[in-house]
Amino acid sequence: MRIRVRGWRWRRNPLRRRSDVVEAWTVLVVTVLLFVVAPLVGVAAGLHAHDRARTLAVQQRAERHQVRAVVIGALPERRSALEEDRRHPYRAEVRWTEPGKGVRTAWARVPAGARAGEPVSVWFDSRGRSVSPPPDEAAVWQRAVTVGLCAAGGTAIVVFLGHMIERRVALRHRLAEWEREWSRTGPRWTQPRM
């Protein structure tokens, strides 16, 4: 039957070594880093990423404009299974009427499955190039949460790696201490008794 004595590294006793005290403090520091600092790093990184993503989204909304166009021209004959998926757009020729500029045509990204003559919403930048729509609020939050989780996870990994390195160093010091103590005590045990 094993008896565990909790907190023995913190109490004074003749079996406690310096390496035991260092290990006790290290466990305390690692616990604080994992349960306090890592989440705070994740929150800070997530909030920073949210601010940057929201600023970028506002900037893109100002630079890009949406038009309602009609698909014209030939669509790809053979579409792969990936393009058949409604989530993956492909390029097609579209036509729309712009106030003051008349009828315009251009190649733009249209939703997969769009057919000739079908109206679609397309986005263009200030130079008239087809671009993806600016990120919405859900995409901004998704980016912020992803960055926050990666930052917290990265911090936790660094803390764990640091703790593993510290444990290896502590083990070497502990073995060296035991070797020194055995070199002093060993001869008394190994001498023949008369």
For 112-136, what is each residue's pLDDT tens digit? 778 888 898 888 888 878 888 899 9
Distances (CA, A) of 192 to 180, 183, 186: 22, 17, 12
Q: In terms of pLDDT, which residue wins out, 10 or 25?
A: 25
Highest mean pLDDT among 3-7, 90-94, 145-149, 186-190: 145-149
Q: In this structure, are residues 53 and 94 in contact, taking their beta carbons and an 8 Å threshold?
A: no
Distances (CA, A) of 43 to 39, 49, 81, 146, 157: 6, 10, 39, 11, 16
Average pLDDT over residues 17-29: 84
For residue 119, the tally of other CB atoms under 10 A from its CB is 11
pLDDT over 90 for what percent of the chain? 36
Average pLDDT over residues 134-155: 96
Lowest pLDDT segment from 15-19, 121-125, 167-171: 15-19
pLDDT of residue 83: 44
Side by side, the strands of the sheet bearing 90-98 are: 102-110, 90-98, 65-72, 119-124, 130-131
Q: Is 179 exposed, middle or buried (0-12, 13-18, 19+ CB in 10 A)?
A: exposed
pLDDT in tens, 48-105: 999 999 999 999 999 988 888 998 876 655 555 544 555 567 788 889 887 887 888 8
Lowest pLDDT segment from 74-83, 95-104, 150-159, 182-191: 74-83
